[in-house]
Amino acid sequence: MEFRRAVQRVDGVGVGVDGWVGICHVVLDEAHALWHVARDNVSCTHVDAALGEGGGNVGTAADSDLDDALVAGQAVDDLCSGVVHGGIFMSHRTIWLPMHVDVVPVGDVSARVKREASDGLRTVYDCEVSMHEPQPIPSGAYDANRDQYRAEEFIDLAQRVGTGEKNIAITPQDLYYRRRNYVFGLAYLSGSGSVISTHRLQTSSDGGFSNRSATDIFGDRVRKEVVHEIGHTLGLEHCDNERCVMNFSPTVREVDVKEQSLCGSCATQVT
């Protein structure tokens, strides 16, 4: 199963409003209206910095898929200067890039949890996963009356600092949402942000469902929850199939019963 976005490379000679003539390499992301421009000024041997990006980021010159489209060593972090206003362009082949999910650890998240989350996402979605620098717990997220943290604050943090198309915060803190006693995770449907909490996933027993070790059971739960929440960001709602990872699972027992993958019906909706 692959979740990818199409980008198309376009080469040509561009004419700038300031009078320069340069060789342009443009990468167009059809799904997200993103684009990058790198230019070689033909009047000198020095390679100018990339002109910019619009609306997001499909990668920098460090991405192997884009090595032939961007000048090595250049970043594409500036806003578009708008100097290119015309030219002769020729389309090249479409490049397919994997979906990028940025995992944002919030608080003291163990290496084991990070590894399980990354492995689960790659296995199910065949996506690119990056691990963000650890972030402090959002100020104002703690509710003293409940001795819990508001899940929405963690989603907002993931969206704000995350660098992926999809961003998921992971925290050991106990989370709640509105009137619910607690949540294992939360996501904005078809949005870019989500969160999971490992606090209540650490129950040692799975009710006799298997004879595996508590460590293995916990690892499976982490995998299932990150896959579940990213599924919501892809537009999937809860599934009635109790074996599907998108099944609503308010208890760890129900998390343990379901599998780590999407059922056929859910997979069809997002591929």
For the chain, percent helix, then strand, then coil, each to nearest 5? 25, 30, 45
Write out the two tokens for 97.
């890039």
Number of neighbouring beta carbons within 10 Å of residue 173: 18
Amino acid at site 36: H
Amino acid at site 264: G
Q: If 0-12 CB within 10 Å is exposed, 13-18 middle and 19+ buried, where does residue 186 land?
A: buried
> What is the distance between the alpha carbons of residues 135 and 221, in angstroms, rounded to a whole number?
22
DSSP 89: E
Tell me which residues are annotated as active site. Answer: 229
